[in-house]
Structure formats: C-alpha cells, structure tokens
Amino acid sequence: MISKIFGKKKKNSNSKIFQAKIAKMNLNEMRLYIKDKLEGFPLSEEGLNEVIRRLSSQINNSRYYLDESDDDTKLKKAFDLVLEISKSRKVTFKTVELIAEFIKIYDKLICNYDKNHKDIYYDRLEKSLNIATTMVEAKALLDNKKKLLDHY
C-alpha cells in the first residue's frame, strides 16, 4: 500500500508502453488522458508521472519541451495540464516531486507569462503543489490507519 502512495513501483513492460504512448501525444491528448477520457488507455500513477516527465524533459539535450518562443496557447495548455495533474486522485509522492521540478525548471518562463498576460499561474502552481502534497500525506495516513485496523 505504501509503495502505491510513494510511487515506488517496479519497472516493467507497462512503463515502456506508457513512455512510448505518451511520447507521441500532444498537449490535447495528454489532457484527455489526465481526465481519463482517452479510450483504451486508463489513467494510472505511472502515466501521470510520464506526462510530467515529458513536460519537464529536454529535447535533444538542448532545449526543454516548453520554450519562451512557444505559442502562448501551448504554454497555457501546459500550465493547465500540470494544474489538472496536481488535482488528480492518482497523485503520488513521485508526482509531487516531478511537479516541483517542473516549477523549478520553468520558473522564469512562468513568471514572464504571468507578467505578459496578467495571469497568476506561478501562484496557482505553488498552491496546487501544496494541495497535492497534502493529498499524498492524507493517503499515507489513511493507509497507516487501515493497516492498524487490519492488524487487529
């Protein structure tokens, strides 16, 4: 149970399937996946982590998935996607770490977007990170209580 919460799963063939499938997705398909509306591809903790990893990863070791030269709608969709991930019931400790890494990587980009568009994504992302952390802690506490009750 605890390994489910902290995202410590053994790497298996499903991981490679997730990576291959998510690597081909655009932001709209990723959003459908996060909302569990993509047919034949159910939402999972591993899939959430792969989506965040893709958004935070470097392309060809030179630039990240998001760049200042990208269209404003792409940036907005990516930020909204991270907000959706943080609200998901499938969030694990690993997902929270990846969200924090996303915010760290794109710190300047988020701030510039907020200044140019009079938006508050940086604040919203920070709050969603705190909420996701609280959800993970609550899951861990609930699992501990279940274990104690099952033991007796």
Predicted pLDDT of residue 5 = 54
Q: Which amino acid, one-letter code, is at 79?
A: F
The pLDDT-based confidence of 102 (bands split at 50, 70, 90) is: very high
Where is 59: in which H helix or E strand? strand 58-59
Q: Are 67 and 18 in contact (CB under 8 A)?
A: no
Q: Are 45 and 3 in contact (CB under 8 A)?
A: no
DSSP 8-state symbol, 122: H
DSSP 8-state symbol, 46: H
Pair type for strands 58-59 and 63-64: antiparallel
Domain limits of the chain?
2-151
Quick: pLDDT tens for 45-99.
999 999 999 999 887 777 888 988 899 999 999 999 999 999 998 999 999 999 9
Query: Taking the model in full, what pTM does it have?
Result: 0.83
Predicted pLDDT of residue 21 = 85
Predicted pLDDT of residue 18 = 72
